[in-house]
């Protein structure tokens, strides 16, 4: 037998517990907006548009900073215009760096998901105690500023370690977005108790589509719409969940916002059929409908 994560058994999509979304809707859709901050003049910075430059790589740092100064604000306006809920995956360094932006997301009613202190470091490669303290730092920052601990976690770089899931369960997290494995939530079994995996997209995500595959704004919009149309059709057989991942500094660029507006206009025509929600509400509803198996508690 080849090694596996050991966190969940295999289960094909047709072999699942009975599930219904609120109001009998068949498809749950949430938008995950990454709001990030990276240190200037050091590592951990994606060098997608000017690879090979030594630090300080001002060009790449400035490209990301555009998302905090402009792109994030434009996306707030867009989600407010379309009356859509939003999930924000937050580097907690943003509380110090761009507090007005975080406050605007709070005023919008966005869910705040812990996304580590910064994208300048990833948990994969940290030792156990270093990662425990790093998770605690992000958790306490959100508790302080939002008045409650976050329910959900997303590792910077989508790069968890062997220990991440157990540490999250121990710290009181209810769900993770680190595993792009399914179109329904999946219970994970850790040595510290159960943790729910909420569907998170690897493909319908502006980082791989735009930065890794050189996808155009129009192609990314077409991808989001095509995936929506097809998964809505598939959801006639069983309730499904569809996440869309964007970043303030990528989709927040004006020419991409134009195409993203087209996506939202298309999707919101189906409000009667679709539960537009937040990742935490998906986790909460699923956990109530499909409790963790006894051997995973």
The predicted-structure confidence for 79-91, as pLDDT tens digits, reads as follows 999 999 999 999 9
pLDDT at 60 over 90: no
Q: For 291-297, what is the mean pLDDT? A: 74
- Span 191-213, mean pLDDT? 95
Place of tokens 């134009």: 258
Q: Is 196 within 8 Å of 252 (Cβ atoms)?
A: no
pTM comes to 0.95
Average pLDDT, the chain: 94
CATH of 22-42+52-290 given 3.20.20.70, 3.40.50.2300, 3.20.20.370, 3.60.130.10: 3.20.20.370
pLDDT in tens, 152-198: 999 998 999 999 999 999 999 999 999 999 999 999 999 999 999 99
Q: Residue 111 has which token pair?
A: 């869910």
**Measured between alpha carbons, how far is 68 from 207 in angstroms, rounded to an integer?**
17
Instruction: Write down the residue that tokens 């910075």 correspond to.
Output: 45
Q: In the chain, which residue ranges form alpha helices assigned H by DSSP? A: 58-66, 72-81, 94-97, 99-108, 128-146, 164-170, 206, 217-234, 254-267, 279-289
Q: What is the pLDDT of residue 297?
A: 45
pLDDT of residue 50: 62
Give the helix, strand, coil percentages of the chain, each rounded to 5.
40, 15, 45
101-120 tens-digit pLDDT = 999 999 999 999 999 999 88
Least confident of 44-48, 132-136, 213-217: 44-48
State yes or no: pLDDT of 294 exceeds 90.
no
Nearest Cα neighbor of 178 from 152, 145, 146, 149 is: 152
């Amino acid at each position: 037998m080849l090694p596996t994560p050991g966190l969940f058994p295999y289960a094909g999509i047709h072999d699942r517990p009975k599930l219904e979304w609120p109001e009998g809707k068949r498809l749950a859709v949430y938008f995950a907006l990454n709001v990030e901050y990276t240190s200037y003049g050091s590592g951990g910075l994606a060098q997608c548009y000017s690879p090979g430059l030594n630090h300080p790589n001002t060009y790449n740092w400035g490209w990301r900073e555009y998302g905090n100064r402009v792109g994030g604000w434009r996306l707030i306006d867009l989600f407010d215009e379309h009356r859509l809920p939003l999930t924000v995956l937050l580097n907690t360094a943003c509380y110090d760096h761009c507090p007005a932006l975080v406050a605007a997301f709070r005023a919008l009613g966005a869910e705040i998901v812990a996304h580590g202190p910064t994208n300048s470091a990833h948990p994969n490669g940290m030792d156990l105690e270093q990662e425990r303290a790093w998770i605690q730092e992000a958790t306490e920052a959100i508790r302080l500023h939002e008045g409650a601990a976050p329910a959900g976690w997303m590792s910077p770089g989508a790069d968890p370690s062997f220990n991440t899931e157990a540490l999250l369960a121990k710290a009181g997290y209810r769900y993770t977005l680190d595993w792009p494995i399914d179109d329904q939530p999946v219970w994970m079994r850790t040595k510290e108790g159960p943790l729910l995996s909420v569907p998170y997209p690897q493909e319908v995500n502006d980082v791989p589509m735009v930065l890794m595959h050189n996808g155009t704004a129009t192609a990314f919009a077409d991808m989001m719409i095509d995936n929506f149309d097809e998964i809505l059709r598939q959801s006639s057989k069983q309730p499904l969940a569809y996440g869309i991942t964007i970043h303030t500094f990528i989709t927040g660029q004006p020419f991409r916002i134009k195409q993203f507006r087209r996506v939202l206009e298309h999707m919101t025509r189906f409000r009667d059929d679709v539960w537009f929600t937040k990742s935490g509400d998906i986790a909460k509803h699923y956990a109530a409908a499909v409790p963790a198996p006894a051997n995973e508690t």
